[in-house]
């Protein structure tokens, strides 16, 4: 119920966000983890490996799983060697396939490049301590991070007590360590909420149980109902805000289709969603992932002056696209603009 009434769960793009699929595989894997059946242990590894292959962010699962298995060795019954083999085999299969897709030639230089990209995917040169401090403040001053902080505090007290009494299960510990790692990883990001969204959703699994152990069940139920009322009010009152519901992309694509002839070419800049909705026309794409990483046709990458498509649809340009903006100003005329999108036509 807490998840169903949680507005960020329905934000724009959540249905195609890799974190959602990764969460499904993560929780599915943990359902099979507490088992002695080799087939189910293999499934646990397979699902956990699929979560990593779905989104590199879920590499955080691996250290969390390691902590859980060390805890098992000292507190629970130790696994037999074949169990570790099947768990590892399940993990390795999807991870190797993912690894091959980003490094098909098995080139060591590519491994280093991939690691550098995933460790700082926004190529952000901001001082790391300033970034961490800025993001930490959000958990005391902004409603969504504050909501996370309350859930995290209650869950932490329950789980730390459970660890002390040695009654926490391995999947619970793996999830909690993953939540902590997700929180720490978020602190170094540009600060968008979707970067702690997986941890936020997972805390809903702990929060009600945590309250019922810290307080009387009646008082815990009252607090849960209060959360449900507040969340449902926010869900209803903000359901039409552009952050959660917007037809701007669809409306912009409809306008583009009205302008284009079947033989017209178009370059779409920094908007994969527009490309996705356009029919099979002569569409080229320019996407800047970070200041150093750009995906676009080779001719444009080597010489931005080679842009000659009849139309150019743009979502956002910054200082990194100064050359592109200059070309648009010189060779194109603006024929339509919305809050976030502009359509240009060759003069």
pLDDT band at residue 153 under the 50/70/90 scheme: very high
Q: What pLDDT was estimated at residue 206? A: 92
Contacts of 188 (CB under 8 A, 6+ apart): 128, 131, 132, 135
The string of pLDDT tens digits covering residues 233-277 is 999 998 888 777 888 899 999 999 999 888 899 999 999 889 989
- Mean per-residue pLDDT, 281-287: 87
Given a cut of 80, whether residue 228 has pLDDT beyond it is yes
The string of pLDDT tens digits covering residues 181-218 is 999 999 988 888 888 999 999 999 999 999 988 888 89
The 8-class DSSP code of residue 243 comes to: T
CB 286 within 8 A of CB 294: yes
N-term to C-term CA, the chain: 55
- Which tops the pLDDT comparison, 22 or 105? 22
- What is the DSSP pairing of strand 265-269 with strand 311-314? parallel
With pLDDT > 70 as the criterion, what percentage of the chain qualifies? 94
Q: Report in angstroms the alpha-carbon separations of 135 from 58, 130, 152, 279.
A: 21, 9, 16, 40
Torsion, Cα of 30, 34, 38, 39 (10° steps): -40
Q: What pLDDT was estimated at residue 171? A: 94
Cut 0.85: pTM above it: no
Q: What pLDDT was estimated at residue 43? A: 96
Three-state DSSP class for residue 166: coil
The string of pLDDT tens digits covering residues 50-88 is 999 998 889 999 999 999 999 998 888 888 999 999 999
Q: What pLDDT was estimated at residue 124? A: 59
Mean pLDDT rounded to a whole number for the chain: 88
Instruction: Give CB contacts under 8 A, 24+ apart, made by 134-142.
Output: 134/191, 135/186, 135/187, 135/188, 135/189, 135/191, 136/187, 138/191
Given a cut of 60, whether residue 159 has pLDDT beyond it is yes
Helices (H) and strands (E) in the chain, counts: 14, 6
- Which tops the pLDDT comparison, 15 or 172? 172
Given a cut of 80, whether residue 106 has pLDDT beyond it is no
The string of pLDDT tens digits covering residues 9-47 is 887 566 667 888 999 999 999 999 998 899 999 999 999
- Mean per-residue pLDDT, 291-317: 84
Q: How far apart are CA 277 and CA 285, in angstroms?
A: 13
Q: What pLDDT was estimated at residue 316? A: 80
CB 193 within 8 A of CB 207: no
Q: How far apart are CA 67 and CA 128, in angstroms?
A: 27
In this structure, of 26-35, 158-167, 225-234, the range with the lowest mean pLDDT score is: 158-167
Q: What pLDDT was estimated at residue 119? A: 65
The tokens of 91 are what? 């993990």
Torsion, Cα of 219, 223, 228, 230 (10° steps): 140
CB 65 within 8 A of CB 48: yes
- Mean per-residue pLDDT, 119-126: 61
Q: Report in angstroms the alpha-carbon separations of 48 from 21, 62, 150.
A: 11, 9, 28
- Mean per-residue pLDDT, 289-298: 79
Q: What pLDDT was estimated at residue 123? A: 53
């Amino acid at each position: 119920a807490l998840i169903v009434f949680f507005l960020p769960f329905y934000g724009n793009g959540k249905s195609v966000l890799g974190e959602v699929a990764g969460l499904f595989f993560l929780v599915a894997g943990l359902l099979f983890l507490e088992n002695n059946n080799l087939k189910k242990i293999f499934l646990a590894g397979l699902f956990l490996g699929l979560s990593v292959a779905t989104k590199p962010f879920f590499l955080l699962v691996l250290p969390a799983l390691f902590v859980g298995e060390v805890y098992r060795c000292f507190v629970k019954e130790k696994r037999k060697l074949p169990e570790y083999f099947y768990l590892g085999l399940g993990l390795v299969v999807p991870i190797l396939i993912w690894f091959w897709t980003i490094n098909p030639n098995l080139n060591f230089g590519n491994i280093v490049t991939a690691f550098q990209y995933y460790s700082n995917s926004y190529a952000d040169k901001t001082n790391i301590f300033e970034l961490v401090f800025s993001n930490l403040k959000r958990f005391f001053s902004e409603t969504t991070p504050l909501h996370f902080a309350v859930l995290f505090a209650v869950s932490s007290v329950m789980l730390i007590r459970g660890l002390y009494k040695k009654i926490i299960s391995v999947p619970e510990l793996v999830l909690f360590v993953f939540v902590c790692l997700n929180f720490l990883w978020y602190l170094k990001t540009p600060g968008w909420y979707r970067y702690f969204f997986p941890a936020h959703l997972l805390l809903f699994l702990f929060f009600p149980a945590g309250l019922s152990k810290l307080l009387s069940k009646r008082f815990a139920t009252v607090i849960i109902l209060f959360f449900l009322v507040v969340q449902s009010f926010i869900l209803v009152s903000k359901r039409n805000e552009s952050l959660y519901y917007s037809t701007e992309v669809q409306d912009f694509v409809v306008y583009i289709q009205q302008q284009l002839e079947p033989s017209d070419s178009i370059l779409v800049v920094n908007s994969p969603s527009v490309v996705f909705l356009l029919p099979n026309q002569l569409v080229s794409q320019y996407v800047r992932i970070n200041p150093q990483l750009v995906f676009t046709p080779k001719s444009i990458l080597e010489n931005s002056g080679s842009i000659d498509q009849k139309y150019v649809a743009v979502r956002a340009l910054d200082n990194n696209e100064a050359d592109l903006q200059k070309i648009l100003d010189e060779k194109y005329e603006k024929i339509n603009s919305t809050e976030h999108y502009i359509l240009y036509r060759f003069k």
